[in-house]
Amino acid sequence: MPFWVMALLATLGTWSITALGAAVVLFFRKPKDRVLNAMLGFAAGVMLAASVWSLLEPAMAQAALLFRGPAWLMAAAGLLCGAVFLWGSDLLLLRFLRKEKSTRAARMLVLSITLHNIPEGLAVGVAFGALAADPSKQVLLGAISVAVGIGMQNFPEGAAVSLPLQREGFSRKRSFFWGQLSGAVEPVAGLLGALLSGWVRLTLPFLLSFAAGAMLLVCARELIPACHMGGEKRPYLPTAAVLVGFALMMAMDNAL
Task: Dump pLDDT digits (tens) for 118-128.
Answer: 888 888 888 88
Per-residue confidence (pLDDT) for residue 130, from 0 to 100: 77
**What residues contact residue 176 under an 8 Å CB cut-off, 6+ apart?**
19, 22, 23, 25, 26, 162
Q: How many CB atoms lie within 10 A of CB 27?
A: 7
Task: Dump pLDDT digits (tens) for 15-54.
Answer: 999 999 899 888 877 667 777 788 778 888 888 888 888 7
- Specify whether the CB–CB gap between 219 and 48 falls below 8 A: yes
Per-residue confidence (pLDDT) for residue 243, from 0 to 100: 93
Task: Dump pLDDT digits (tens) for 189-227.
Answer: 999 888 887 788 888 888 888 888 888 888 888 778 878
C-alpha distances in angstroms, 149 versus 41, 48, 134, 178? 23, 17, 22, 23
- Alpha carbon dihedral 190, 85, 165, 252, in 10-degree steps, equals 50
Say whether pLDDT at 12 is over 90. yes
Closest CA to 163 of 51, 247, 49, 40: 40
3-state secondary structure of 181: helix
Say whether pLDDT at 101 is over 60. no
Q: How confident is the model at residue 9 (pLDDT cuts 50, 70, 90)?
A: very high
Structure letter (DSSP) for residue 30: S
- Specify whether the CB–CB gap between 207 and 119 falls below 8 A: yes
Q: Can you tell me the distance from the alpha carbon of 70 to that of 227, in angstroms, rounded to the nearest whole number? A: 36
Q: How confident is the model at residue 158 (pLDDT cuts 50, 70, 90)?
A: confident
Say whether pLDDT at 97 is over 60. no
Task: Dump pLDDT digits (tens) for 75-85.
Answer: 999 999 988 98
Q: What sign does the CA torsion over 69, 70, 73, 75 have?
A: positive
Domain ranges of the chain: 3-26+69-230
Mean pLDDT of 95-122: 72
- Specify whether the CB–CB gap between 124 and 185 falls below 8 A: no
3-state secondary structure of 41: helix
Say whether pLDDT at 144 is over 70. yes
Mean pLDDT of 233-253: 84
C-alpha distances in angstroms, 175 versus 105, 107, 138, 179? 13, 12, 40, 6
Across the chain, what does the average pLDDT equal?
83
